[in-house]
Structure formats: C-alpha cells, structure tokens
Structure 1
C-alpha cells in the first residue's frame, strides 16, 4: 500500500491539517524559505499542527525555479538560509532538506547543479540534503552522489520513474479540503520529521544474580580486610545490601 501525501505552497491551519489527514494523507511537503517569502513559509506552529494531525513533515527549500543552475555560490547562500529556518522551527537533525530544481534542467546545467547541492550540504551540518526535480535530474544527481535524498516530479520526466526516488510527485494543482495541493507517493527513505519529542528509553537493570554475588563476595573480602575500620565496614555492608536489593538476593 502506497503512503500518500501532498505538497502545497500555502501554509496549513490546524483545521486544514486535520482535513488532509482525514482524507488519507500521511505527510506534507512544505517550504523552508526566508521571511521575505512569508506567504509560503513553514513555521513551527504549522509543523506542530501537521504533527498533531498525525502526519509527517518534509522540508523543501526554494527561492526561484532555477537557482541550482547558479552553482556553488547559490548553494552556499541557500544552505545558510535553510539552516537558519530549520533551526528556527526546530527541525530535528538527521532529517532531510530538499532543494528544488523546478524546471526542465538540461545536461549543461548538471555540473552547476551538483556544485550547488554540495555547497548547500556544507552549510547544513547534521542534516541530509535532497533534490527535487525531474527524472533526469534525480538520475544524474544520484549517479554523481551529489546528495542523499531524491524527490522526483512527473513533470519533464516523460513517464519515467527513477529507482533512486524517495518521493514521487505524480499530480499537480488538485483541490483537497479547499486547498490547492500536489499529490505525492512516499517510496521510502524520505527524511521526513515531526515535532514529537523522541521517546526516552527506560534504563533496564541488566546486572544478573551471578555477577552480583561475585561483587558481594569482593565486598565481603573488603569488610574482612578492613582491620575493624568502622567506616570501611559500614560502607561495604551498605553496598552489599543495596546490591542484594537491586537483584533480589535475600539478605
């Protein structure tokens, strides 16, 4: 069963997020952009609303359609901006930030595109970089090892789907819950995230009885060799009894 999701330019309210989830959506791709593009900017409040609705967040950075063709200089600029936004909304490290190549990129652009992605990655310690683009873009950037995650659009892809794709955008400009959205399938390794705190693993007592008895025997030797020092004897006695209590050995 495919995992369905959407991407959209306009922010979701809590009500809209719940409606998307009720329609079967499991993730939402939203924009990390500077405050000058506030009309489509992902905020912490929106990320929390998406999470509360039971969906995951996918982060994508995009100023213009073809910034990646500007090479390393643009990658450095956009990587720094993406990091600032990711930290502002508290996106967890270890998750992905995609950079959009939103045009029919040609082979002459590939070297600059690779330089763009690598430069962006240098500015994003702790995060994984991905690219959004056509089949050809995904295939070429995967072959070059330019980034770790791949979000393919059907646009300019001429009916092909890359085996490297982690997300596949298959339909644009649809209406869902009164919102204009694009439909996507999750294919694994998406790098998405949510605002839930990570679960804290309880400490498990793995000290077995046999090991405890060995330590208690050592404490007994300390007690015997203490030359009747009351402080040493009391400490050894206390430690031995505490260990017995911890593993359930009768006193």
Structure 2
C-alpha cells in the first residue's frame, strides 16, 4: 500500500536535489526502502556542505552534523528540518506538515523515537539519534521479535548509546545487539570507553570476573541477558542471582559440555554465553585435521588428551607448490585405530562460495561422499559431515543452502549413512529444521555473521573453537557433546583393481551403446552425468566413485 507522505518525500527529494552531483534519485513508489534512505542521506550531506555524497552515514557526515545539530531544535527553519520530517515519515512516525519548520509536531516525533529507543524523552536531537533516524533500523517490535530482547536493546541504548550509537530495538537478537552486550560487559568490569570495542579479546578475557550466588548488580543482569538469548533463562532481568540464574547456568554448562556443571559464572560460562567460540583455552576430547596423519601425529594427539579426530574423505588443500592431499586413506585409518583414536568423516571438496550450493550439487556430493566412505570401510550409521564453509547471509540460505541440504538428505537416505552439516550456527539451525540429526558447528569463526547472535543448535555433535599446531601438524580443536562418539574401523572392504574398474566402465559404456573412449551424458533426476571413459582414469577419481554408485551398485 502506497504511503502518501513517503511518496511526497520521494518526489520532493528528486525535485530538490535531482541535479546535485552525486545524488541518486529515490524511487517514487510510496514505499520506504534503502534507496530512499540513501537519497535522504545524500540530501542531508549536501545541506551540510559535503562535496562528495555517498550512501553511508559515516564519520564525514557525523563530523559535519556535529557542528549544526545543536541549532536543529524547536524554532529552527531550513531544509534540514524538512529532511528530518521526511525521514520520520519513512520511519512510520508522524512528523506533522512536510515543511521546513522544526515545530511542535517534529518535537513530538523526536520524543517518540527516543521512547522507542529506550532513551530519555528530552526532545534533544543528537548526531547518534539522527543516524538511527536516517536508517532502516526498526524501533518497534517486529514479526519474530521478542519483547524481552527489545527491553534489553532499549536498556543497552539507555546506558551506552552516546558511545555505541543508537541500535535497533526490534526484538531481534542480532550482531549489533551481541556486540553491545560484550561492550556492556567491558564497561561494567572497568574498561574505559576509549578501549572497549565490543570484541571479546585478550583484555576482556583477563578482566572477566567469576560470579556466583549472592552477587547482584549489572554484571548479573548481563549474565541474565546472555542466558536468556541462549534459551536458558526465563526469569526477571533484574540483576539478581536468583534460582533461575542458578539453574540456567547449570543447564547451559551441561548443554555445551562445559564442566564443572556448577552454578559458577566464570570466564568459560560468560564468554560461552556472549561469543560463539567461548573460552578457547578450555579442554576437549576432539580435534579435526586436514593433514594425512602419521603414527607420531596420532601419538601426540593422544598425549594432548584427544580421543576423537575428524578427517576429510577426499580432496587437497593449498595450491601450487603447497598443494597436498587431505584425503583419508586406509593405511591412515589403520594407524588411527591402532593409536587409540576414534574417527568421524568430513566431506569438503569445494564449496568455498555460496554459488557452489545447489540442489544438483547436493546429489553429487552425497553420492561421492557415501561411495568413498564405503570404500574406506565406514560402518553403517556413520554420520558424514558436509561442509558449508562460508559465511552465508540469511537471505542466501533459502535459495541455495536449503536445496543443497534437502538433496543431501534425500540422496543419503538410500544409503547406510547419515547426513551431518558443518557450518555456522545459523546454517546448522536451518539444517536442524530440515531434519539433519547432527551438526558440526564452525564456532571458531566467531566474527561470522552466521554465528554472532545465533543460538547453538540443539543437535550439535562437534563444536570447532580453536586452531593451533601439535608437533608441527595444524589442528582445529573441537568440543564434543557426546552425540557422535566417532567410529573405529577394523573391517575393510576388499579392494578393486584398476583393470576391474576399467572393465566395469567399458561394460557400462557399452550398455549405453557408446564406444569405449567416447563421452556419454546420462540424466538421473536433476543430475546430468557426463563420463569420458579412457585408460588414464584412476580408480580413486571422485567421478568414478560417483558413477559406480549410481550405476554399478
């Protein structure tokens, strides 16, 4: 539905600033969107005297605005007042007549926005409030939002908006909210505003307190916030270390496997609530590696307390002279079993960009991975973790990731193996909804948008949180929930010779009426398979495994 005030704003912007160099015209459709917001920002920049206009509301805009904002108050007249009125209409807040007067209606609109944002309703328009106004951020509870999270956002604004800016108050726990919560912790434990930055670095780690029953104050409220957004607290957000906080801490520790399972809120608990990777110095029994492991590597892993190791089914890492195989071999499997480690398989042979993930690719990957796992002797019921090793944005998940995971599930259900997903919390949460039973969470990438502000999936089996070398061999350290204990392989399938492989290929090709050495294309469901059978093909080639699985089993 067209908003006439928004349409009036768009038309005025284009008529007034359409010939200004660098100004991009707003769409005249009566609907607020980023293009209209960009036009409002560029018009404001022009009125502030900036020669170069841009879509952002950065330091240059704020620096210019700070010199005039104190004059923009009741009684002021000028185009800046009209731009502010237009921004309010685009925000869905009435600002009276669309003119150049800072009148009582505009003063009322400023106070309304302050109230929505959790700020004192004093009517004083600040640089930070103006930046929030000239933005698409929502300050009312949106669909899918949580009223308690909105109250938390308002509280954080009330305390820290002068330093952080005015964050959205829409009830959605998101990246900005997460960073603001870490910032609140930093300021609460004594870090100055000049040093605090919303990142949980070494300085914050060193200052993180240990809090237990009997403590009160804002530090407890921050813990309550952390427990709430992770789904482990439903009580009052009042700063009291009550029974709900006690049980919430214990349950969160158990869920994340963070012993001791007591009600003490220490670094491991607090950082675990506020970041994806948590306390990176904590102990765990699992690691994964992209290196073909020697007997010495396995002995070193055992000495470091690891019981389970994740390894890749196929592929290489590095490039050029540094390229090396990462695929698991039967001899390596034997060394792993003899060394007392259990094993879980990972499939990642590409997939470093969002474009890789399609329904068709899911069919390909499921077939390759299951055939290789079978050739290596992985027993029935083993979960194969398919890597989605990219920071997928929420808007991209439905178009590519969901079809990819759906294809994995549909294809692997006809085999003896189970689908697992490696990816961000958000990706794993989507996989969980689709029916994936186990997740390998890429929490080590704590800055990824798919981790910040997202809960841990309930089906998590492994949680990757740190990386370092052991005896020169790089590893990723993983926590384990116990949902996947790994496997020990001692029974290996009988191998197949190169001549037998070529005979099978020749037989299949002949069956389709094509001479050996020619190309054939065969459609199977959504997949078109093209095979050129020639003597140079090696049995280990992934395409051969895939072809055998489809047509030979």
| TM-score in terms of structure 2 length | 0.33
What is aligned with 1:164? 459
The answer on whether the counterparts of 1:9 and 1:30 sit within 8 Å (CA) in structure 2 is: yes
- Pick aligned residue for 2:401 from 109, 113, 128: 113
The CA deviation at 1:26 is: 0.8
The CA deviation at 1:69 is: 4.9
The CA deviation at 1:67 is: 6.4
What is aligned with 1:128? 418
The CA deviation at 1:33 is: 1.4
What is aligned with 1:222? none
For 2:316 and 2:287, locate their aligned partners in 1 and report how far apart those are by CA, in whole Å.
23
The CA deviation at 1:35 is: 8.4
Structure 1 gap ranges (5+): 198-251
- Pick aligned residue for 2:481 from 155, 164, 187: 187
The CA deviation at 1:38 is: 6.7
What is aligned with 2:378? 91
Task: Look up the SS of the partner of 2:460 in the other structure.
Answer: coil
What is aligned with 1:27? 308
For residues 128 and 158 of structure 1, do their structure 2 counterparts lie closer, same or farther at Cα, with a shift above 3 Å needed?
A: same
The CA deviation at 1:21 is: 1.1
What is aligned with 1:10? 291
For 2:324 and 2:431, locate their aligned partners in 1 and report how far apart those are by CA, in whole Å.
30
The CA deviation at 1:123 is: 3.4
The answer on whether the counterparts of 2:362 and 2:407 sit within 8 Å (CA) in structure 1 is: yes
What is aligned with 1:80? 367
Kindly report structure 1 stretches of 4+ aligned residues shifted beyond 6 Å.
Answer: 35-38
For residues 67 and 96 of structure 1, do their structure 2 counterparts lie closer, same or farther at Cα, with a shift above 3 Å needed?
A: farther
For 1:90 and 1:164, locate their aligned partners in 2 and report how far apart those are by CA, in whole Å.
26
The CA deviation at 1:74 is: 0.5
What is aligned with 1:49? 335
For 2:312 and 2:288, locate their aligned partners in 1 and report how far apart those are by CA, in whole Å.
9
For 2:370 and 2:364, locate their aligned partners in 1 and report how far apart those are by CA, in whole Å.
10
Task: Look up the SS of the partner of 1:137 in the other structure.
Answer: helix
The CA deviation at 1:68 is: 7.7
Q: Please, what is the CA RMSD of the aligned residues? A: 2.3
For 2:396 and 2:324, locate their aligned partners in 1 and report how far apart those are by CA, in whole Å.
29
The answer on whether the counterparts of 1:95 and 1:128 sit within 8 Å (CA) in structure 2 is: yes
The answer on whether the counterparts of 1:3 and 1:187 sit within 8 Å (CA) in structure 2 is: no
Q: Higher RCO, 1 or 2 (CA under 8 Å, sep at least 6)?
A: 1
For residues 20 and 138 of structure 1, do their structure 2 counterparts lie closer, same or farther at Cα, with a shift above 3 Å needed?
A: same
Q: 1:67-115 CA deviation, whole Å, 9 max, x = no partner?
A: 6852111011111110221111111111100100111111233232122
The CA deviation at 1:118 is: 2.6
For 2:485 and 2:345, locate their aligned partners in 1 and report how far apart those are by CA, in whole Å.
9
The answer on whether the counterparts of 1:68 and 1:116 sit within 8 Å (CA) in structure 2 is: no
For 2:298 and 2:329, locate their aligned partners in 1 and report how far apart those are by CA, in whole Å.
14
Structure 2 gap ranges (5+): 1-258, 260-282, 318-322, 492-553
Task: Look up the SS of the partner of 1:158 in the other structure.
Answer: coil
Larger Rg: 1 or 2? 2
| TM-score in terms of structure 1 length | 0.71
The CA deviation at 1:151 is: 0.6
For 1:50 and 1:188, locate their aligned partners in 2 and report how far apart those are by CA, in whole Å.
19
For residues 20 and 194 of structure 1, do their structure 2 counterparts lie closer, same or farther at Cα, with a shift above 3 Å needed?
A: same
For residues 179 and 35 of structure 1, do their structure 2 counterparts lie closer, same or farther at Cα, with a shift above 3 Å needed?
A: closer
Q: 1:192-250 CA deviation, whole Å, 9 max, x = no partner?
A: 211146xxxxxxxxxxxxxxxxxxxxxxxxxxxxxxxxxxxxxxxxxxxxxxxxxxxxx
**Deviating more after overlay: 74-83 vs 106-115:** 106-115
What is aligned with 1:152? 441
For 1:121 and 1:127, locate their aligned partners in 2 and report how far apart those are by CA, in whole Å.
10
For 1:109 and 1:21, locate their aligned partners in 2 and report how far apart those are by CA, in whole Å.
40
Task: Look up the SS of the partner of 1:166 in the other structure.
Answer: strand
What is aligned with 1:71? 358
- Decide which structure has greater strand share: 1
The CA deviation at 1:184 is: 0.3
What is aligned with 1:140? 430
The answer on whether the counterparts of 1:68 and 1:74 sit within 8 Å (CA) in structure 2 is: no
